[in-house]
Amino acid sequence: MRPGLAPAAPPASARTLRWACTPLLAACALLVSACAAPDADRGFTPGGGMEPAAVTASETPGPQPGTETVTAAPGLTIEIEWPLEPDPKRSAVIKAFAGDFTAQWRAVGTSGRDRSYVKGIDAESSAYMESVTWVQGFLKDGQSARGVARLYALRVPSVMGRGAEADGCVDLTGVRLTDREGTPLARQPAWLKRPRAVFLQTAGLGQGDDGVWRIRLYRHADYPDERAKECLR
């Protein structure tokens, strides 16, 4: 990015690689299989890698259905529409997906002081560097954000062992880029305006030996993709 200009593309939780022409079902199969690999070679494992730790984490009660407003930073909020998901594993995947989305915006809204977003991403995955690069882009240009980002229609299309796919609709039309003091930039990027600001976000997640679901892969579908059209309201 050039100094003084807004990012040329959406965030890592919105940007990254596109589905392109790959059939959706085939892409989902690859996504899940890529996340299903065991983490035995990851070194130190909290809890000693015992299976009960993973079971306990996956059975943690999920959020109640309805809309929750989360303050990511002063003047920046995330509205999350939690679905009714009775399955504890799928609920945990949805919670991790939404937590990653919120944490990345928290990093931007706090000018990088909050780095909790790295905890929700597999450090050895492509998603990790994409997220770090996006956040650093804001810091380098002295930019932040204010407004409301919305996350809704959350669902888990597939789960295979310790791998899963999570989908969600994103609406960034209520977000504005600012300087570090919170003053909106005179020139706002196209990815914060319709139709590009409303899209389908997909992530591949893997469950570690500690039972925590972490992001390993990002994909998204932009308008006029049929999947993105489903997110329009």
pLDDT at 59: 55
Across the chain, mean pLDDT equals 81
Q: What is the pTM of this model?
A: 0.78
Check if the beta carbon of residue 94 is closer than 8 Å to that of residue 64: no
Among the listed residues 147, 186, 156, 154, the one whose alpha carbon sits nearest the alpha carbon of residue 170: 154
pLDDT at 71: 97
Q: Strands, E, within the chain: which ranges?
A: 17-18, 66-73, 76-82, 143-160, 163-179, 198-207, 213-221
Check if the beta carbon of residue 178 is closer than 8 Å to that of residue 194: no
Q: Is the peptide bond before 224 cis (omega within 30 degrees of 0)?
A: yes
Q: 101 phi and psi, to 5 degrees?
A: -60, -45
pLDDT at 63: 87
The predicted-structure confidence for 155-203, as pLDDT tens digits, reads as follows: 999 999 999 999 999 999 999 999 999 999 999 999 999 999 999 999 9
Strand ranges across the sheet with 17-18: 17-18, 213-221, 198-207, 163-179, 143-160, 76-82, 66-73
Structural domain spans, the chain: 17-35+64-229
pLDDT at 53: 39
- Confidence band of 233 (pLDDT split at 50, 70, 90): confident
Segments in the chain forming alpha helices (H):
24-35, 51-58, 88-109, 126-140, 226-229
Q: What is the CATH number of domain 17-35+64-229?
A: 3.10.450.50
